[in-house]
Structure 1
């Protein structure tokens, strides 16, 4: 008899790459319940409506559902109260979900060791007093709990070689395998459509696209500086986050802002863009394979996970520093290369949803 499987994810309160991976896991293991701390259906991908999502008691606290970062002190007891009874718990985690207790086997797919514990200057930027207080009180206990949970997992997976190195550094354990996450099946299946997008975006020729949450480590402020120095190009920024209001106020006139888009709109944006500009310090960075799926190359910072998702001269180009002139030179080089769309698409094939599903189901069969 096949083992019963449960899934777990940190929280379902946003539309990010980790949530797309969690959704693909529900398709790899159809019928498996999804345990999580918080679930806000209107804030995350609609595909979760077809999943048996089982949130913790924290989900009853309405203010925390709306501002999930305020729930930091409560996540550990909340996920600790979850009680999956299935034979195998398959976890998608960047910090909280791997704390979910289980009597069965536990497989952890790690997006990154938690930023809120080990890179809190990025996660809590602008909240110095809060960070200082948490560093002195809660963080030491949570680091011990985090490392113990990582050690207790039966199998630890990484989404990239970059993250595998961080796992060795933080947890002193080797990963069982590196499995790259997939480009979303929903995004690939969407019919590109500009319906509902502002006219200023629909008529831009061809624009530089940025798809990013607006957080300090995403480095969108450097993109805005490049936009200001390159007024002949239009920059379209898709994303939301704590820095949005400040960035919109400071942005030059050639930047267009989109807070949230549908998969059909995002597919159109990827297909219509001249290139994707990716300037953040990413654990993996799934937006370049997403753009490549639509034949659009990426100009990326030569750092972190982009080294695994961009092939220089084939699916994009790199710039070496967060410097306006470096970005401008990279944009000119992409113009010169004029990479054929079909060639760019081929570099998205290793990130196909079917490849990911086969990898995780084969792994579960091998270890259970």
Structure 2
């Protein structure tokens, strides 16, 4: 197979999340670039990847791993280290593994965070991690940290998704990374469809919206407990290992949905009162997506949310992920008259065009010329 001008690399395409949305934005900016990943489960990630050339490692032969990628942890470093990407530029989208692919040309890493489970295990695993999880990290952690730092220092350039991640890259790797914020991918004018499974009482709106993978560090349990105490409707969109425990503690005013289409998500954003986010987030994409529809955010004063929310203009903060802190912030947001136009204007500063232009600028600096510029048509020029 001939050498490609540019290849996009990503950890695994087995879920629907903000990182996968960034990869889709990159495929739109560089439409001739294939995507190299470890595992690909088409039914579990965004359907738009069906139109992309996706390459996988040998791990993808194992169907069970495609649907339970966390169990592949002991195998992933070896898998990516043994895979060579033959391209002038490999543009890596990574929060753990993809920066370890061997490359024949330049390597540029767009980093969502150095691996949380390596550098922030208590936060990633939650307050009561399983004995097997603790044992596995104790066994594999030291060697994987050495591997991780070695792979990071082999990159030609590092890009951080937020100021918080920029500092984390500096602490973990000693690398100075440029900050390029991720884009939103929604248009308020797109098709809308009411999600199936939504109670009829919410057909006209009047609910808060929490969009998150159901993992311990996302703190969805604190949001659920806060709304159980408030007695207000909450719609939670997402899936993950915490789902059963969250459903068990939820009141009747709390609805759980998952695997929604963009049209269904637009319907929810357009009708919610606000989005709620209590997670330790590296960037905080949900408040920007809500802002496209003129809706405010109520979020934890931490990490990436500091980059994406203008306090008092596009949202309000709470200072710790506890029901006692979340509930009054929700009440405060509900009592305020928000300026929807100002919120929408803020969202425009996180456009896909701006993101792709800045990524192309990094490629140009590293290579001397962009190898297939973002937004390029047949002539290869920037639009």
Q: TM-score range by the shorter chain?
A: over 0.9
Structure 2: runs of 5+ lacking an equivalent: 368-383
Q: Give the C-alpha shift of residue 330 in structure 1.
A: 1.5
Instruction: Quote the residue 1:145 is aligned against.
Output: 147
Distance in 1, matches of 2:324 and 2:115, equals 33
Helix, strand or coil for the counterpart of 2:365? helix
Q: Give the C-alpha shift of residue 171 in structure 1.
A: 0.6
Q: Give the C-alpha shift of residue 77 in structure 1.
A: 1.4
Residues 181-239 of structure 1 deviation map (CA, whole Å, 9 limit, x = unaligned) = 01125x666312215352346436410110011111111111111111111x2111111
> In the TM superposition, what are the counterparts of 1:20-99 in structure 2 within 5 Å?
20-99=21-100
Helix, strand or coil for the counterpart of 1:317? strand
1:191 aligns with 2:180: no
Distance in 1, matches of 2:233 and 2:134, equals 40
Q: What TM-score, normalized by structure 2, do the two folds share?
A: 0.91
Instruction: Quote the residue 2:315 is aligned against.
Output: 316
Task: Assess, with a 3 A threshold, how the Cα gap between structure 1 residues 119 and 87 changes in structure 2: closer, same or farther.
Answer: same
Tell me how many residue pairs correspond in the alignment: 364
> In the TM superposition, what are the counterparts of 1:130-141 in structure 2 within 5 Å?
130-141=132-143
Instruction: Quote the residue 1:211 is aligned against.
Output: 211
Find the partner of 2:158 among 132, 156, 159.
Answer: 156
Q: Give the C-alpha shift of residue 350 in structure 1.
A: 1.6
- Which deviates more, 319-328 or 334-343? 319-328
1:168 aligns with 2:170: yes
Distance in 1, matches of 2:12 and 2:37, equals 5
Q: Give the C-alpha shift of residue 174 in structure 1.
A: 0.8
Distance in 1, matches of 2:143 and 2:188, equals 42
- Which deviates more, 95-104 or 203-212? 203-212
Task: Assess, with a 3 A threshold, how the Cα gap between structure 1 residues 190 and 15 changes in structure 2: closer, same or farther.
Answer: farther
Distance in 2, matches of 1:226 and 1:53, equals 41
Helix, strand or coil for the counterpart of 2:92? strand
Helix, strand or coil for the counterpart of 1:4? strand
Distance in 2, matches of 1:334 and 1:132, equals 39
Instruction: Quote the residue 1:243 is aligned against.
Output: 242
1:113 aligns with 2:142: no
Distance in 1, matches of 2:327 and 2:125, equals 31
Helix, strand or coil for the counterpart of 1:223? helix
Q: Is the 8 A contact 1:313 1:337 kept in 2?
A: no
Helix, strand or coil for the counterpart of 2:103? coil
Task: Assess, with a 3 A threshold, how the Cα gap between structure 1 residues 360 and 189 changes in structure 2: closer, same or farther.
Answer: farther
Q: Is the 8 A contact 1:299 1:319 kept in 2?
A: yes
What root-mean-square deviation, in Å, do the aligned CA atoms of Structure 1 and Structure 2 show? 1.8
Distance in 1, matches of 2:199 and 2:125, equals 36
Helix, strand or coil for the counterpart of 2:131? helix
Distance in 2, matches of 1:318 and 1:118, equals 26
Task: Assess, with a 3 A threshold, how the Cα gap between structure 1 residues 292 and 216 changes in structure 2: closer, same or farther.
Answer: same
Q: What TM-score, normalized by structure 1, do the two folds share?
A: 0.95
Q: Is the 8 A contact 1:276 1:288 kept in 2?
A: yes
Q: Is the 8 A contact 2:278 2:300 kept in 1?
A: yes
- Which deviates more, 291-300 or 204-213? 204-213
> In the TM superposition, what are the counterparts of 1:222-301 in structure 2 within 5 Å?
222-231=222-231, 233-301=232-300
Distance in 1, matches of 2:14 and 2:214, equals 15
Distance in 2, matches of 1:123 and 1:330, equals 25
Distance in 2, matches of 1:182 and 1:167, equals 20
Q: Is the 8 A contact 2:227 2:327 kept in 1?
A: no
Helix, strand or coil for the counterpart of 1:347? helix
Distance in 2, matches of 1:204 and 1:250, equals 26
Instruction: Quote the residue 2:15 is aligned against.
Output: 14
Residues 79-129 of structure 1 deviation map (CA, whole Å, 9 limit, x = unaligned) = 122221111110000010000011210000000000121223344445533
Q: Is the 8 A contact 2:60 2:66 kept in 1?
A: yes
Instruction: Quote the residue 2:381 is aligned against.
Output: none
Residues 258-316 of structure 1 deviation map (CA, whole Å, 9 limit, x = unaligned) = 12211101011011000111111111110000100111100111111111111111101
Q: Is the 8 A contact 2:161 2:179 kept in 1?
A: yes
